[in-house]
Protein backbone atom coordinates (compact mmCIF):
# COMPACT_ATOMS: atom_id res chain seq x y z
CA UNK A 1 0.00 0.00 0.00
CA UNK A 2 1.41 3.46 -0.84
CA UNK A 3 2.31 5.58 2.17
CA UNK A 4 3.92 9.02 2.41
CA UNK A 5 5.39 10.34 5.65
CA UNK A 6 6.86 13.76 6.30
CA UNK A 7 9.01 14.55 9.35
CA UNK A 8 7.49 12.40 12.15
CA UNK A 9 6.04 10.24 9.36
CA UNK A 10 9.60 9.40 8.29
CA UNK A 11 10.28 8.26 11.85
CA UNK A 12 7.14 6.08 11.86
CA UNK A 13 8.04 4.44 8.53
CA UNK A 14 11.65 3.67 9.54
CA UNK A 15 12.68 0.13 10.40
CA UNK A 16 15.35 1.43 12.81
CA UNK A 17 15.65 4.55 15.02
CA UNK A 18 18.46 6.38 16.78
CA UNK A 19 17.92 8.74 19.74
CA UNK A 20 14.47 7.29 20.40
CA UNK A 21 12.95 6.17 23.67
CA UNK A 22 13.56 2.43 24.09
CA UNK A 23 9.85 1.64 23.90
CA UNK A 24 9.12 3.70 20.77
CA UNK A 25 7.48 1.59 18.11
CA UNK A 26 7.31 2.25 14.38
CA UNK A 27 5.11 1.05 11.55
CA UNK A 28 8.27 0.24 9.63
CA UNK A 29 8.60 -0.74 6.00
CA UNK A 30 11.46 1.55 5.02
CA UNK A 31 14.88 -0.11 5.24
CA UNK A 32 16.42 2.97 6.85
CA UNK A 33 17.94 4.05 10.14
CA UNK A 34 16.53 7.45 11.13
CA UNK A 35 17.93 9.84 13.74
CA UNK A 36 15.13 11.70 15.51
CA UNK A 37 15.48 15.50 15.91
CA UNK A 38 18.77 15.25 14.02
CA UNK A 39 18.94 18.96 13.20
CA UNK A 40 18.39 20.01 16.81
CA UNK A 41 15.69 21.68 18.84
CA UNK A 42 12.72 23.78 17.68
CA UNK A 43 14.94 26.87 17.66
CA UNK A 44 17.22 25.13 15.12
CA UNK A 45 14.42 24.74 12.56
CA UNK A 46 15.32 26.18 9.15
CA UNK A 47 14.41 26.50 5.48
CA UNK A 48 16.61 25.58 2.53
CA UNK A 49 16.60 25.08 -1.22
CA UNK A 50 17.33 21.56 -2.41
CA UNK A 51 17.05 19.27 -5.39
CA UNK A 52 14.82 16.22 -5.13
CA UNK A 53 15.34 13.40 -7.62
CA UNK A 54 12.28 12.73 -9.74
CA UNK A 55 10.93 16.27 -9.45
CA UNK A 56 11.33 18.50 -12.46
CA UNK A 57 11.14 22.25 -12.32
CA UNK A 58 14.28 23.14 -10.40
CA UNK A 59 15.04 23.30 -6.72
CA UNK A 60 12.48 22.75 -3.98
CA UNK A 61 12.00 25.03 -0.99
CA UNK A 62 12.17 22.76 2.07
CA UNK A 63 11.02 23.57 5.61
CA UNK A 64 12.73 21.57 8.39
CA UNK A 65 11.14 21.66 11.85
CA UNK A 66 12.93 19.58 14.51
CA UNK A 67 13.50 17.23 11.62
CA UNK A 68 15.00 13.75 11.45
CA UNK A 69 17.48 12.59 8.85
CA UNK A 70 18.38 9.18 7.46
CA UNK A 71 21.66 7.91 8.88
CA UNK A 72 21.70 4.76 6.77
CA UNK A 73 19.64 3.51 3.83
CA UNK A 74 19.43 -0.11 2.70
CA UNK A 75 20.18 -1.29 -0.84
CA UNK A 76 16.54 -1.14 -1.93
CA UNK A 77 16.07 2.48 -0.84
CA UNK A 78 16.37 5.27 -3.41
CA UNK A 79 17.82 8.45 -1.97
CA UNK A 80 15.80 11.30 -3.46
CA UNK A 81 17.28 14.28 -1.63
CA UNK A 82 20.19 15.41 0.52
CA UNK A 83 21.02 18.57 2.42
CA UNK A 84 23.38 20.86 0.54
CA UNK A 85 25.73 23.02 2.59
CA UNK A 86 26.17 23.69 6.28
CA UNK A 87 27.01 21.24 9.04
CA UNK A 88 24.46 18.71 7.74
CA UNK A 89 25.81 18.72 4.17
CA UNK A 90 25.07 15.40 2.46
CA UNK A 91 22.56 14.15 5.04
CA UNK A 92 19.70 12.16 3.50
CA UNK A 93 16.32 13.90 3.86
CA UNK A 94 14.12 12.27 1.18
CA UNK A 95 13.81 8.57 0.31
CA UNK A 96 11.65 6.11 -1.55
CA UNK A 97 11.36 2.34 -1.32
CA UNK A 98 8.72 0.90 -3.59
CA UNK A 99 5.40 2.52 -2.68
CA UNK A 100 6.80 4.20 0.45
CA UNK A 101 8.05 7.80 0.36
CA UNK A 102 9.41 9.81 3.27
CA UNK A 103 10.80 13.32 3.67
CA UNK A 104 12.24 14.91 6.78
CA UNK A 105 10.95 18.30 5.61
CA UNK A 106 7.39 19.63 5.34
CA UNK A 107 6.34 20.24 1.71
CA UNK A 108 2.78 20.94 2.89
CA UNK A 109 4.05 24.24 4.38
CA UNK A 110 5.00 25.64 0.99
CA UNK A 111 3.00 26.26 -2.16
CA UNK A 112 5.05 23.67 -4.04
CA UNK A 113 2.97 20.57 -4.74
CA UNK A 114 5.58 18.48 -6.54
CA UNK A 115 6.34 16.07 -3.67
CA UNK A 116 2.65 15.39 -3.21
CA UNK A 117 2.21 15.02 -6.98
CA UNK A 118 4.99 12.40 -6.96
CA UNK A 119 3.13 10.49 -4.26
CA UNK A 120 -0.21 10.78 -6.08
CA UNK A 121 1.44 9.26 -9.17
CA UNK A 122 2.70 6.35 -7.04
CA UNK A 123 -0.87 5.81 -5.76
CA UNK A 124 -2.27 5.95 -9.30
CA UNK A 125 0.23 3.35 -10.53
CA UNK A 126 -0.50 1.14 -7.55
CA UNK A 127 -4.26 1.29 -8.19
CA UNK A 128 -3.78 0.67 -11.91
CA UNK A 129 -1.61 -2.37 -11.18
CA UNK A 130 -4.22 -3.73 -8.77
CA UNK A 131 -7.00 -3.18 -11.33
CA UNK A 132 -4.89 -4.90 -14.00
CA UNK A 133 -4.21 -7.86 -11.74
CA UNK A 134 -7.95 -8.36 -11.31
CA UNK A 135 -8.81 -7.92 -15.00
CA UNK A 136 -10.54 -10.94 -16.45
CA UNK A 137 -11.60 -12.16 -13.00
CA UNK A 138 -14.95 -10.41 -12.93
CA UNK A 139 -16.65 -13.54 -11.60
CA UNK A 140 -14.38 -13.67 -8.53
Q: Which residue has the higher pLDDT, 30 or 44?
A: 30
Q: How far apart are CA 42 and CA 45, in angstroms?
A: 5
The model's pTM is: 0.90
Whether the per-residue pLDDT at 21 is higher than 50: the answer is: yes
Q: Is 127 helix (H, G, I), strand (E, B) or coil?
A: helix
Give the per-residue pLDDT at 42. Answer: 84
Cα distance between residue 106 and residue 60, in whole Å: 11
Size of the chain in residues: 140
**Strands (DSSP E) along the chain, which ranges?**
3-6, 14-18, 30-35, 46-50, 60-64, 69-73, 78-82, 92-97, 100-103
pLDDT band at 132 (very low <50, low <70, confident <90, very high): confident
Catalytically active residues, by annotation: 7, 106, 108
Per-residue HEC secondary structure of 99-125 comes to CEEEECCCHHHCCCCHHHHHHHHHHHH
- Chain centroid, CA 61 distance in Å: 15
What's the whole-number mean pLDDT along residues 106-126? 95
**pLDDT for position 95:** 98
Rounded to whole angstroms, what are the CA distances from 9 to 5, 29, 34, 102, 137?
A: 4, 12, 11, 7, 36
The per-residue pLDDT for range 65-83, each reduced to its tens digit, is 999 999 999 999 999 999 9
* The predicted structure's pLDDT at residue 140: 44
In which band, very low, low, confident or very high, does the pLDDT at 5 lie, cut at 50, 70 and 90? very high
Amino acid sequence: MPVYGSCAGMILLADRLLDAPPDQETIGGLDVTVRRNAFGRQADSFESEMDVEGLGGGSLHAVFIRAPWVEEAGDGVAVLGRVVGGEADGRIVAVRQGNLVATSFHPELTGDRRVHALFVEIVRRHLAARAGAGAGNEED
